[in-house]
A and B are shown apart, each in its own frame.
Chain A
């Protein structure tokens, strides 16, 4: 009963006309920006973050969440129609684009939209019941446990987003170091500020996000010199009944997989899509068609994508630890609005929490009623030449950076991070784990110092506490597994080399 009461409160907040409007604007603008080449959810959220500064807190969070799933839908649209892969829509490129080649673009877009709706709805049920429960568990966490959880998050994110544990961990650590710039909260000593006053408060997250994702992406696109041909095919959105029937089972499977994988540290949409696609390929009735443009190949992954995007809010809102880079950015947005996510958020700001949960469902309805039918008009953003687009994106980056503190100096910092982000790109280092390291770095330090203070300098506390002990054990197993597979791979390649020389 309590849950229904809470949900009623949530819908009361979400269904005010202002919040409905913020949700609709968030979904639409998110979809539009997400459609643009090279701009995934991370870049989209960081570019659009400033739009929410002057909006009341609940509206701002609702709009940001709308931007997030709008951007994800936009991503899958560009993947389906033009095979433009973003980090969050790699799987949609496979069957979605094959369907476009077969002239079934409308069906693929409809499938993605409906499956997202199903995935989102299942995830909201999970979120409603699971977030408060996990919030209770969070009270059992001590400083050592928080440290271990953050480290597990680093390891998982490093591996999932970059595929290389070493590169990902390096980026996490660079993020942690960048988070150290500014005044040390415990001793008040300025660190790494190079006697620059504006660095005393630390580097702004928006500067890093816009530099590494906005400016670096623009430069990469300019370097690639690829002019994209806009999609001009026909879009027939209404499916036949047998086609519609094929969407449901696959979408439900994807929703369950996505909801589960979204909660785990390092989890989120990307890994959920791959898992759902793999499961569909194994168990679906039409598995022989998957890969060559089957409805199931689009439905399962789209549902998993959406479900994981929603349930990845659970660790953020109930424990206060973001589990992937997008959630780290969301956390920063929460903090900018004066809300500290964590176990106290649900009790302290029930209207915000339940309002956000309810708005996710409202956002889903907007996506399916507004964005899916209007998608052919949205696609016209591709007709805008890049020569017009990129100065505009640069302008938004500047305004976004400036408006955090109304300080023009921040634009220099953003430019600096744009250069560093470009170096990262060229060195094949993914900047996403850096964001997580940057947000979690100060928390990691604070909890680590507190844990060691309580244990009088003994590291035993990390291994003797059951929660941190098991989490660290998981990390050790993961690293060992990585090491063994690396050695095996090296052995295999040496054998192959010997075979070829003989």
Chain B
């Protein structure tokens, strides 16, 4: 056996259970200690991920390579940032319970398994573990009707998507004779003679994963769930659980189905264009900042899909850079949203940000950086993501995709600018409650990263290039 390959996942799973036991045994409120322990577990796991050797193990079910390592580190980063965000929010909302970090860790284990999946069954198992934990997290504020609704909605729709995915897996198995990525790749080599059943299978697999990515037309759950779920959970949903399905999608499309790219590229192109259009136009009318971020994340997934649609190594590199920048700036935006509290109540209307530039210039400037970065204005990190996916599209000669991409980013910029407008130009509302140190830390750290990323991108770009190379063997 090759236990060594899965050490990070095993360690993280055991730590999650240990924290659970520790939490149960504590008489007093132990959410702070448990969250700290969870952060420690993330850090240790990250070190272990870096130290893991690159190999295939567990009879071909599990793979560890530069690509999976990049993805896992990104997932751990997202989890850690959101765990810090949850500290203050849960306390103030009265939902500070130790199960919260435990569920986050279990979800993270699922995501890491997804990143290492080398078999459709491993993929499905990881995906379900991730999702099950998030259903509970979305409904974590159990006395809040919106949160319960969000949890239920996510559960029902996500179960449907899992069904679609499973159906696609079974079709793929039936028409290719294997669930193993390597064997499928060997069986499916000629794009001209692919059976229709397999194509239908691929379409269902894409549909199942697109649901988790909240790409159009499987995005319907996103605004409601984003709005209803407790803000740190929304933050979590828009970071790490976006990365994991995306890297799985990359691995499945370029691994087992890599030879028949010509068959699935049109599907991805359509999904990408639809996501970019909907993400930019539907967001214009939003008044709730969490709903706004939901549409924004739909749009962002559309841009990232451009890299996949390009079907090249450059494209994969673009996607990885995009995901990295997206995770960081999303965490930053949500740190600012968590900070939106007035007289002990969380507020989420965009208009509540009015006059923030006067009351809290630091927060306003940070939010401005994130908004401009999301809109793709240089020199912020978000521009780097767009730059490298558009590069891939131009390299591959996909001009339609590139032109639609840049034009929708203009529309997208409109609503990001509107947020800035509210903060800087509108009359002042009452100031927010004092921020906690943990929030300021996340906002500052992600803000600085967003600001300087494109000035020193070489190490990240190098890592993304190595990861992309690993995917293409």
Q: Does A pair with B? A: no
